[in-house]
Amino acid sequence: MTTVPAPPIRIGKTAVGALSMLAVATGALESVVTPTLPLLQRELDMSPAEGALLSIVLLVTGALVTPIAGRLGDRYGGKRILIRLMTVVCAGGLVSALAPNLQVLLLGQVLQGAMVGALPLSFILVRKHLPAAESKVAIGVVSGLFVGGGMAGTLSAGPVAEGLSRHWMFALPTIAVIGATLLVNRLMPDDPPGRPDDAGVDWPGLLLLSAALVTLMLALALAPDIIGSQPLMLLALVVVLAALVTGWTAVERRAASPMVDLGLLARPAVWKSCVLTFVICAGTAVAVHLVPQLFAVSADDYGFGAGATEIGFFLLPGAVVASLAGPLSGIGARRFGARAVVCTGGAVMTAALFALAAAHSEVWHLVVGKAMIALANGLCVTALVTGTATAVDPGDTGIATGLVLVTRVIGFAVGVQISGAILTAGTPSGSDVPAESAFVTGFVVAGAVTALSLLVARTLSKGVEE
């Protein structure tokens, strides 16, 4: 006699609220290193190379864990994997908070990198327990609050580290993550496994993907310093990266149960979302890096001479807008479709980047421009994740959204490194202040690339329907 599975339990606002709290807390914990990197370098006596390593290690592990978490969530159940993943994140946060030296802090950051996989697992739970229309809004809320949490962490990390200590900078958001994880465990109903575990974990693909991501991040981190002095080293890294990607592709094609389904990636709804997410996040990262740097340039030159507290205040409107963009995007995607939201967001970001290139002589120019870019990023990324999540089979939700979120992480890393390279190249010899033209170049390059993405966005709806 065949047993008919029970219908999924419909979740209420409290369960979605618990996922939202977890998104805010993990977003804050993810973002505390970047604004306090100079302080960490001083206190832990780090070299610039070690500082670069610290700034990217979470991104590397996050980009690796995300597709794995999505695949395991699809296979074994989203809640089961989410709670285990957040246990690792909480351990990493506590290790980072107690770290006496760089080595222990790096270990904590490696463990914290697992947090990036929490989003696709949250999407699995929302998709299983809510109707399609409501799940779009819920995914938008969770995505937007993750972005808002990241901005909140960026704003608060400096004051906490300076007023209390660097230890509390990690401890406070970790405590919030622990509390939110307990709430999710209590309020979120269990979801049944989506598929049997016939083939196990694709360890060869996992190792090759790990090596490829580490090589990519290492090349991006070292490129500004070695492109002129040691071009052969950079070329060697590119060759190694190409070999690893080729090997990984061959392994995934032959794997019985690949961690990254290349067939799924080849679907227009998925690969177009990945391309657009990469471009949008790279453009956003340029502004995220350049705007605070421009605020900090001395008023005797062409900047404003702002300190850490002032910069945080100037960025506050962007944080507020970023937290609202996700829910707005979910509502817009449900009413007008993902393509309309992405095209609108891309157009707003393009206009804002070109406007910053033309006008950045007043504080309000940068404040408004940065807020518009934060709005556009939230609209685009949330619509792309939402569209991807609802365009694939429910059993593929985790891995499909995981692919999009991996490209988000890589896009941010690439954008930051590109903007850093532009500022380095635009700094006159003997000076530590970049020329104003370097900022203009960065904004123009980001605006031009974002504008080209609109060509892909125009075909997005067709890809989703297919």
pLDDT at position 397: 65
Q: What single DSSP character describes residue 3?
A: P
Mind listing the pLDDT tens digit for each residue in 289-343?
A: 788 778 877 777 787 877 666 776 787 787 778 777 777 777 777 777 777 888 8
Give pTM, 2 decimals.
0.70
Q: Is the pLDDT of residue 456 over 70?
A: yes
- 278 residue type, one letter: F
- On whether both 210 and 226 belong to a single domain, the answer is yes
State the Cα–Cα distance between residues 319 and 315, nearest whole angstrom: 7
What CATH code is carried by the domain that includes residue 107?
1.20.1250.20
Residue 198: is its pLDDT beyond 60? no
- pLDDT > 70 fraction of the chain, expressed in percent and rounded: 75
Judgement on whether residues 124 and 219 belong to the same structural domain of the protein: no
In a domain, 215, yes or no: yes
> Is 6 contained in some domain?
no
295 and 248 fall within a common domain: no
Question: What is the separation of C-alpha 174 from the centre of its chain, rounded to a whole number of angstroms?
Answer: 18
Name the residue among 291, 277, 306, 10 with its Cα closest to residue 138. 10
Q: Residue 79: pLDDT band by 50, 70, 90 thresholds?
A: confident
Task: Tell me the average pLDDT across 6-24.
Answer: 67
Q: Is residue 212 domain-shared with residue 135, that is, in the same domain?
A: no
Which residue, 238, 254, 270, sits at the end of a domain?
254
**pLDDT tens sequence across 37-74:** 667 777 887 755 566 567 767 777 777 777 677 667 76
Helix 118-129, helix 13-30: angle, nearest 10? 170
List the domain range (segments joined by +) for residue 266.
261-466
Across 92-101, 117-126, 247-256, 270-279, which has the greatest mean pLDDT? 92-101
| Cα angle 382-387-391, degrees, rounded to a multiple of 5 | 155
Number of domains in the chain: 3
- State the pLDDT at residue 6: 47
DSSP string, 250-290: HHHHH-SS-SS-HHHHTSHHHHHHHHHHHHHHHHHHHHHHH
* Contact between 130 and 105 (Cβ < 8 Å): no
The greatest distance separating any two alpha carbons of the chain, rounded to the nearest whole angstrom, comes to: 82
Does the pLDDT at position 133 exceed 80? no
Q: What is the pLDDT of residue 363?
A: 87
382-423 pLDDT tens trace:
777 777 766 666 666 666 766 777 787 778 777 777 777 777
**Amino acid of residue 47:** S
**Residue 1 covered by a domain:** no
**Is the predicted pLDDT of residue 167 greater than 80, yes or no?**
yes
Residues 270 and 411 both lie in one domain: yes
CB contact at 8 A, 132 and 330: no
**DSSP single-letter state for residue 360:** -
Last residue of some domain: 192, 226, 243?
192
pLDDT of 188 above 90? no
Together in a domain, 386 and 425:
yes
Q: Is 389 left (phi over 0), alpha (psi -120 to 50) or beta?
A: alpha
CA distances for 425 relative to 22, 91, 227, 289, angstroms: 40, 40, 11, 15
Q: Does position 462 have pLDDT exceeding 60, yes or no? A: no
The tens digit of pLDDT for each residue in 342-352 reads: 888 888 999 99
Residue 274 and residue 397 in one domain: yes
Do 28 and 126 belong together in one domain? yes
Residues 277 and 384 in one domain: yes
Note whether residue 282 is domain-resident. Answer: yes
- Residue 57, burial from CB neighbour count under 10 angstroms (0-12, 13-18, 19+): buried
Q: How confident is the model at residue 5 (pLDDT cuts 50, 70, 90)?
A: very low
Query: Do residues 149 and 290 share a domain?
Result: no
Q: Please tell me the predicted confidence (pLDDT) of residue 356.
A: 92
Q: Quick check: is 200 in a domain?
A: no
25-29, 457-461, 462-466, range with the lowest pLDDT: 462-466
Q: Are residues 179 and 215 in the same domain?
A: no
Q: What is the pLDDT of residue 26?
A: 80
- Domain assignment present for residue 85? The answer is yes
For residues 85 and 157, membership in a common domain is answered with yes
Q: What contacts 393, CB < 8 A, 6 or more positions away?
A: none
pLDDT score for 158: 77
What DSSP line would sit under 139-188, residue for residue? HHHHHHHHHHHHHHHHHHHHHHHHHT-HHHHHHHHHHHHHHHHHHHHHHS
Does any domain span residue 158?
Answer: yes
294 within some domain: yes
| pLDDT band per the 50, 70, 90 thresholds, residue 353 | very high
pLDDT band at residue 463, thresholds of 50, 70 and 90?
A: very low
| Average pLDDT rounded to a whole number, residues 357-379 | 88
Of 142, 164, 192, the domain-final residue: 192
